Structure 1
Amino acid sequence: MRLTSFTDYGLRLLMRMASAPDRAFSTADFADEFGLSRNHLTKIVQRLAKGGILSTRRGGGGGAVLARAPGDIRLGEIVRLLEEGQALVECLGPDGGGCVIDGQCGLKSRLRRAEQAFIAELDRSTLADIALPERAMLKLRS
């Protein structure tokens, strides 16, 4: 299974936030720390906020904070949210991708089960399990 860069970046910023769960982070903070596009990060933060993973505040002292404790946020929940609308293969998409062998294919059900197993495995871990250690933060800043 391959995750989109949208999900990859979302997981990175959440790993960072889990290392300091009470701190508010701006998209500028993330852009500086990870060398990523601020506009792209804004879209990720918006999706995570809409999905209830983050809370956001505008103005001085504003930014994004985790909406729940890192130990209460399952990795599968994050991936499902950020990968929403991204089918593993075309035939698993909402419209079936116009597959001409649908109904005769033995692969589709196996791929669906593999995808479900992948997410189920991620659901066994929380954001607290993958929080970046402080030494990693020092490396990012230098």
Structure 2
Amino acid sequence: MKVTQFTDFSLRLLMYLAQEPDRLVTIGEVAEVYGISSQHLKKVAQSLSGAGLVKAVPGKKGGLRLACSPTQINLGQLIRRQENLTLLDCAACPLKTCKLTRLFDQGLSAFLDVFDGKTLADIV
């Protein structure tokens, strides 16, 4: 399974903010550090803000910070929020006894189980 760039950037932004707990961080700073588009990162920050994970402080001296402790940000929940987790579209499968969907669901469940047991604090 490959996560989307959106999820990748979400994780990287959260990791960066977790390492800078005592100050506000700008989108431009994070974009420069990771060499990614500030416009794309802005969309990521808006999504994380909407999820209650990032606090955006407006103004000239504003920026971003974590809205909660890194120990409270579960990575499995984050991935579920950011990703389309449909691995296989079997709507048109003509086989009545096809077990492929169930197998993919089991694989996805095993993948998510690893991340369900981890928080942001575990990766910073």
Shared fold, TM over 0.5: yes
1:37 aligns with 2:37: yes
Cα 1:33–1:102 shift into 2, 3 Å: farther
In structure 1, the residue matched to 2:86 is: 87
Percent of residue pairs identical: 37
1:20 aligns with 2:13: no
1:6 aligns with 2:6: yes
2-structure distance, mates of 1:23, 1:69 = 14
CA deviation after TM superposition for structure 1 residue 102, in Å = 6.4
**Matching of residues 110-121 of structure 1 within 5 Å:** 110-121=103-114
Please, which runs of 5 or more residues in structure 2 have no aligned partner? none
Preserved CA contact (<8 Å) 1:21 1:69: no
For the residue of structure 2 that corresponds to 1:100, the secondary structure is coil
1-structure distance, mates of 2:95, 2:11 = 34
CA deviation after TM superposition for structure 1 residue 38, in Å = 0.7
In structure 1, the residue matched to 2:117 is: 124
Report the TM-score, using the length of structure 1 for normalisation. Answer: 0.79
Please, which runs of 5 or more residues in structure 1 have no aligned partner? 92-97, 132-142
For the residue of structure 2 that corresponds to 1:90, the secondary structure is coil
Cα 1:9–1:105 shift into 2, 3 Å: same
In structure 2, the residue matched to 1:138 is: none
RMSD of aligned residue pairs (Cα, Å):
1.7
- Matched AA of 1:36: I
Cα 1:67–1:101 shift into 2, 3 Å: farther
CA deviation after TM superposition for structure 1 residue 12, in Å = 1.2
2-structure distance, mates of 1:50, 1:90 = 29
1-structure distance, mates of 2:106, 2:52 = 27
Preserved CA contact (<8 Å) 1:72 1:126: yes
Choose 41-50 or 103-112, whichever is displaced more.
Answer: 103-112
2-structure distance, mates of 1:24, 1:99 = 50
**Matching of residues 92-111 of structure 1 within 5 Å:** 98-101=91-94, 103-111=96-104
- Matched AA of 2:63: G
Report the TM-score, using the length of structure 2 for normalisation. Answer: 0.89
